Amino acid sequence: MGYNLYITRAKQWPDEMGPKITCEEWLAVVRDDPELAINAANGLYFAEWTSLEGDESWFDLDNGAITTKNPDEPEIRKMLLLAQRLHAHVVGDDGEVYDEATFAAHPPTENVIWAMVKWATLMVIGPFALSTCLLIVLWLLGLI
């Protein structure tokens, strides 16, 4: 299980009737980007990305949208660049739209896991568990 992001032209995600990114468009973008390379062993439109920092990731064309799983900040930024080239936009599984101002709309997974560990630890060790839970929820929501 993971969290996917999509580069799509559809107004609402998922909209299977909306405008699609074609295979030819995707392959042209991959061909023109020195950081991307098709890995046909994983699929005809499966592109591996090696960033300037040496990080590796992948993007795949599926049903007219480019997708990847559990992207980190550099991957989201790369998706935003690819979306510009494709005259599309980036959305998450929950339909949230990513752009330069809000590309971090989906918090990194490690923050959620760390919050759960803190919550579980505090629930076990203290009589102040309820107030601690409230503080964690407020922290996760970015209110503190």
Q: Which two tokens stand for residue 139?
A: 């922290």
DSSP 53: T
Which pLDDT does position 136 carry in this prediction?
Answer: 78
What is 4-98's CATH number, 3.40.190, 3.30.310, 3.30.70, 3.30.2010? 3.30.310
The whole-angstrom separation of Cα 66 and Cα 139 is 32
Per residue in 120-136, pLDDT (tens digit) is 555 555 555 667 766 77
Which pLDDT does position 32 carry in this prediction?
Answer: 96
Per residue in 5-64, pLDDT (tens digit) is 999 998 766 667 778 999 999 999 999 999 999 999 999 999 999 876 777 789 999 989
Per residue in 92-128, pLDDT (tens digit) is 888 888 887 765 554 444 444 445 555 555 555 555 5
Closest CA to 76 of 1, 3, 26: 3
The whole-angstrom separation of Cα 36 and Cα 81 is 13
Which pLDDT does position 74 carry in this prediction?
Answer: 86
Torsion on CA atoms 116, 57, 94, 61, rounded to nearest 10? -160
Cβ pair 5, 77 in contact under 8 A:
no
Task: Identify whether 34 is preceded by a cis peptide bond (ω within 30 of 0).
Answer: no
User: Would you list the domain boundaries of the chain?
Assistant: 4-98, 109-140
Per residue in 47-83, pLDDT (tens digit) is 999 876 777 789 999 989 999 999 988 899 899 999 9
Q: What does pTM read for this prediction? A: 0.67
